[in-house]
A and B are shown apart, each in its own frame.
Chain A
Amino acid sequence: MSAAVRENPADKYLRKERMPSIWCPGCGIGTTVNCFTRALDASGYDLEKVAVVSGIGCTGRVAGYLKLDSFHTTHGRAIPFATGLKLARPDLKVVVYSGDGDLSAIGGNHLIHAARRNADLLVVCVNNLTYGMTGGQVTPTTPQPAIASTTPYGAFEQSFNLPHLVASCGGVYVARWTAYHVRQIAKSMGEALQKKGFRFIEIIAPCPTLYLRRNKLGEGLDEMKFYQEKSVVMNGADTREVSLDFRDEIPVGKFVDIERPTLEEAMESQLSKALGAKYVPYSLPVKA
């Protein structure tokens, strides 16, 4: 009857000595990490063959908290580091886990070119609509007319529609969820881990300390209830129609799921066509 107390299923994927995390109460990043651990758990992958690369920022801390081979890179450069890692070690599953400021602003060019080249990466973008760690500045994803520390009278620039940006550049798997959709995130991450090519999952998450407080929108829990109320599942929708507006409906779902040759496959096929027998495909050095 007295079964032993079971271990938290997330524990074996975490560096427990670093807990509790630096994330604020009501922040959604931890929820997404929790979903990621469940997706990894369900996939049954060898954890020695999964690597996580993060940039800088609140979400950039994820690489430090996951007990996998992880890499905390320079600001905005998570995708180039990850592309290099994947090219040198094709046997690894490489996951880029970073925030909207890191991926779409400072690393915006890397994001579009990795999508264009179809680098074999899973990119998880936790979008909290602001720069969290540096003090709530406006990002390319901040909707008009939200208030940020650098736009005290309201943001006036048009914001990025990240799923459309990535889909139009050639991403093979594009989905968006909010931190409220935990089961869907876990399922989506599981699906995306199985696929090859540039896979992009955007997760809208609350930033209670900077974005919500500055815009007088309440706590993280209030924002989660807002997601519950305002999300509309639009699987397979045209990504042109899924832009985010301030306090308006949030289109979520899996928008794109296609197949096309990855960076490595395209390189192999072109080089073997051009060079014929002279071409020696890259392979991992065999351990003595």
Chain B
Amino acid sequence: MTTATAPAANKDAPKKEKKFRGVVTVNREHCKGCGFCVEFCPLECLDLEADYNAKGYHPPFLSQPEKCNGCDTCGLYCPDFAIYGYREKLDGSAA
């Protein structure tokens, strides 16, 4: 059985190199600071800014970019269409 040995061999191997990174784009002026994206980000990589936008709300930002995998859950939750995530391939080609 070749498959049985495969996981053991992988254990010591270096961690698979990341093929893509997550990117989050925020439209600061449309944000109403409800915090849905920050609360429900599965990888907890968003936070609200200390700064205000023109309407006086705190928009979110990607506080831990290395953790983000671009799943776009923030984009689904946003009631104001102000945030969305996507994956960008690291080798430069279009994802």
A182 with B76: CB separation less than 8 A: yes
A55: interface (CB < 8 Å) = no
Give the size of the chain A interface in residues (CB under 8 angstroms): 34
Minimum CB–CB distance for A61 against chain B, Å: 12
**Number of contacting residues on B, CB 8 A?**
31
Max chain A C-beta neighbours (<10 A), residue from B32, B34, B77, B84: B34
- Could you tell me the distance in whole angstroms from the C-beta of B31 to the nearest C-beta in chain A? 8
Q: Are B76 and A34 in contact (CB under 8 A)?
A: yes
6 cross-chain CB contacts under 8 A:
A3-B94, A21-B79, A29-B79, A30-B79, A34-B76, A221-B39
Residue pair A9, B75 in contact (C-beta under 8 Å): yes
Q: CB within 8 Å of B: which of A28-64? A: 28-31, 33-35, 38
A31 x B75 contact (CB < 8 A) = no
Per the 8 Å Cβ criterion, residues 12-66 of B in contact with A are 23, 25, 27, 29-30, 32-36, 39-40, 55, 57
Contact partners of A9 in chain B: CB under 8 A = 72, 75, 84
Q: Does any Cβ of B come within 8 Å of A25's Cβ? A: yes
Binding site for A on B (CB under 8 A): 23, 25, 27, 29-30, 32-36, 39-40, 55, 57, 72-73, 75-82, 84, 86, 88-89, 92, 94-95
How far apart are the CA atoms of A25 and B53 in the complex, in Å? Answer: 14
A221 to B36 CA separation, bound complex (whole angstroms): 6
With contact pairs A3-B88, A19-B30, A221-B34 given, residues A8 and B25 touching in the complex (Cβ less than 8 Å)? yes
User: Could you tell me if A25 and B57 are in contact, using CB atoms closer than 8 angstroms?
Assistant: yes
Those 7 A-B pairs whose CB atoms lie nearest each other, nearest first: A30-B79, A25-B32, A182-B76, A26-B34, A8-B84, A20-B30, A31-B79
